Structure 1
Amino acid sequence: MLDQTIKVELSTTKKQKPNADQLQFGKIFTDHMFIMDYTEGKGWHDPRIVPYQPITLDPSSVVFHYGQTVFEGLKAYVTKEGKVQLFRPEKNMERLNQSNDRMVIPKIDEQFALKALKQLVSIDKDWIPTAEGTSLYIRPFIIATQPFLGVAPSSQYKFMIIMSPVGAYYKEGLNPVKILVENEYVRTVKGGTGTAKTGGNYAASLKAQEISSQKGYSQVLWLDGIEHKYVEEVGSMNIFFKIDGKVVTPELSGSILPGITRDSIIQLLKYWNIPVEERKISIEEIYEAYDKGLLEEAFGTGTAAVISPVGELLWKDRKIVLNNGETGPLSKKLYDTLTGIQYGTVEDPFGWIVTVE
């Protein structure tokens, strides 16, 4: 572990906290943030918690021109007893380093980063909303800060953590979404940056998302970038299908982000002795299963929504409605169990929860 003390500068002017019914995702931020710098030859240094504030960067900083950046997303929850909990945060730090490796960013000390995250949450724990379904969204990220116009890894970086109180994702219950299968644009390809959580992947998805919104669909179902045949992800989530009693999800083939919620769902299904497979799934197979009456449910998984049931799919002008457009029993059970573990109302048999003092 990095043998450095985290310097703490507390804010002298506290912000007004929003009411639970006014929370919008990523619009309001807590009083403090974490920053740590990297300099080539010196390594990561000067870890500090400071008042939330703008940062000053040179206009030629590498991040602005060549997109050398990675990020993570996780949440802090308050139990009915007032305990502050994190859900598998060590996996986020592990994945951050996997993204660092792909984007040629110096790796962080995962244990030290988690220590810093927990200290930041502890300082701003009064910002964690307590209304049902609310939480504190935590965004660790790294940007390349060297002032240099050249296609090469930066020699300077900043690792930061900011936090935002967020409302319940499903204010009116767990409702299925309409999905458009994307046939022209792709999210990424094997050998690309699909397995890294980097900004460019999300920028590349915006055009297809804009088109789907114009057609009245909330998300895009991405197909593989080579054959435009195999299912990959839905929006910025992993995707699962329940076909004839068995749950299938695309295998991690080199272009799919290894979701922490995805992994948790797979472990839960195995724990319940529900058959689950990670393999290639073609969009044709999905439609054939529907035609045979075997396609029971489909749902996306991710940090923000946990479970996002799919109620409708449109592919090449052919629309299919899943489970009468209603949330399926497995989707509901998975959502209730996972959120129950996160909020401390359901037993955690996996040791996923980390408590913040």
Structure 2
Amino acid sequence: MKFLCLRQPVRLTLRFARMVSSFRADDMHITLTNNPQRKPDNSQLVFGANMSDHMLVVDFTASLGWGRPHILPLDTLPIHPAAKVLHYGAELFEGMKCYRGVDNKIRLFRPMENMLRMTRSAARTALPPFDELELLKCIKKLVSIDQEWVPYADDCSLYLRPTYIGTEPSLGVTLSADAKLFVITGPVGPFFPTGMKAVRFLADPQFVRAWPGGCGAYKMGSNRSSNRYHPSHPPCCCCATVGRSKLMRMSKARRSSTFYL
């Protein structure tokens, strides 16, 4: 057997650093619910209103690093009122879907694209890194446990919401030393009230959501703060007045070609 001797010290690649500092799906602890919910009728589904029986939770602390992933019955999260997510928006999320095919197989839609964007968003938010492949394994296990929540309908799906928040209880304007990553899921119908029909958009340069050097390329809650769906909100009023379903926010720098939904 031959060994390769290196004269120079080996620098850890970013991917390897993620792996050694990440949680592992093989360490997962699972607690199943004793009180499964009644599943809603597919024809009555409202986007985001129904949750499945279980959730995935993983905690990070500065002293211990990543803990074990846990799949638990759906419940509220205990959080300190000084947690940085509540004051400085140390938060990001993803939106994923999985579908039940005509062959009864359940398929996630391009999940690695979501995982890669989530790690990019985590880096931009300065939250601790993790291995996206390990998270995807955990998510697949969660979907497997709640597979009966994937609707048996062509126009419905199971929506997955991975979320990552800074939880350090400190009002100091610093990076969050503690964090929580969790995933909740729920059956959904079409996003728009029009169902699977085409929708009409309003492109208005008055409203801007992203700008060069900002966070528009990342999936953060702050990007949605100007996108409320209340009828009294100015952008929504504009859309409703002209019979449009949603506003296209345009980049002031390139109003003719760049749009943000």
Indicate whether the TM-score tops 0.5. Answer: yes
1:229 aligns with 2:255: yes
How far has the Cα of 1:182 moved from its partner? Answer: 2.0
1:17 aligns with 2:43: no
Given the superposition, is the C-alpha separation of residues 29 and 111 from structure 1 closer, same or farther in structure 2, using an over 3 Å criterion? same
Instruction: Say if 2:251 and 2:259, in contact at 8 Å, map to a contact too.
Output: no
Calculate the TM-score normalised by the size of structure 1. Answer: 0.62
Given the superposition, is the C-alpha separation of residues 171 and 208 from structure 1 closer, same or farther in structure 2, using an over 3 Å criterion? closer
What SS does the corresponding residue of 1:147 show, helix, strand or coil? coil
Instruction: Kindly provide the CA deviation profile for residues 242-263 of structure 1, in whole angstroms up to 9, marking residues without a partner as x.
Output: xxxxxxxxxxxxxxxxxxxxxx
Letter in 1 for 2:216: G
Q: Structure 1 regions of 5+ residues with no counterpart?
A: 236-357
What SS does the corresponding residue of 1:64 show, helix, strand or coil? helix
What SS does the corresponding residue of 1:177 show, helix, strand or coil? coil
How far has the Cα of 1:213 moved from its partner? Answer: 3.4
The residue aligned with 1:220 is 247
Instruction: Kindly provide the CA deviation profile for residues 16-36 of structure 1, in whole angstroms up to 9, marking residues without a partner as x.
Output: 000111111100100000000
Instruction: Kindly provide the CA deviation profile for residues 64-108 of structure 1, in whole angstroms up to 9, marking residues without a partner as x.
Output: 110010100111111122111111111111110010111111122
Letter in 1 for 2:87: H
Q: 1:93 aligns with which of 115, 140, 145?
A: 115
Q: Give the 5 Å matches for 1:40-189.
A: 40-169=62-191, 174-189=196-211
Q: Distance in 2 between matches of 1:171 and 1:204?
A: 21
Q: Distance in 1 between matches of 2:119 and 2:141?
A: 20
Given the superposition, is the C-alpha separation of residues 171 and 199 from structure 1 closer, same or farther in structure 2, using an over 3 Å criterion? closer
What SS does the corresponding residue of 1:75 show, helix, strand or coil? strand
Q: Distance in 2 between matches of 1:209 and 1:50?
A: 39
How far has the Cα of 1:212 moved from its partner? Answer: 2.4
Instruction: Say if 1:140 and 1:160, in contact at 8 Å, map to a contact too.
Output: yes
The residue aligned with 1:202 is 224
Q: Distance in 1 between matches of 2:192 and 2:203?
A: 23
Calculate the TM-score normalised by the size of structure 2. Answer: 0.84
Higher relative contact order (CA 8 A, sep 6+): 2
How far has the Cα of 1:217 moved from its partner? Answer: 2.3
Instruction: Say if 2:239 and 2:246, in contact at 8 Å, map to a contact too.
Output: yes
The residue aligned with 2:10 is none
Instruction: Say if 1:142 and 1:158, in contact at 8 Å, map to a contact too.
Output: yes
How far has the Cα of 1:208 moved from its partner? Answer: 5.1
Identity %: 35
Q: Give the 5 Å matches for 1:285-324.
A: none
Instruction: Say if 2:204 and 2:249, in contact at 8 Å, map to a contact too.
Output: yes
Q: Distance in 2 between matches of 1:172 and 1:110?
A: 35
How far has the Cα of 1:5 moved from its partner? Answer: 1.1
Q: Distance in 1 between matches of 2:194 and 2:247?
A: 23
Letter in 2 for 1:230: S
Instruction: Say if 1:145 and 1:154, in contact at 8 Å, map to a contact too.
Output: yes
Q: Structure 2 regions of 5+ residues with no counterpart?
A: 1-18
Instruction: Say if 2:209 and 2:260, in contact at 8 Å, map to a contact too.
Output: no
Q: Distance in 1 between matches of 2:174 and 2:192?
A: 43
Give the structure with the larger strand fraction. 1
Q: Distance in 1 between matches of 2:172 and 2:192?
A: 45
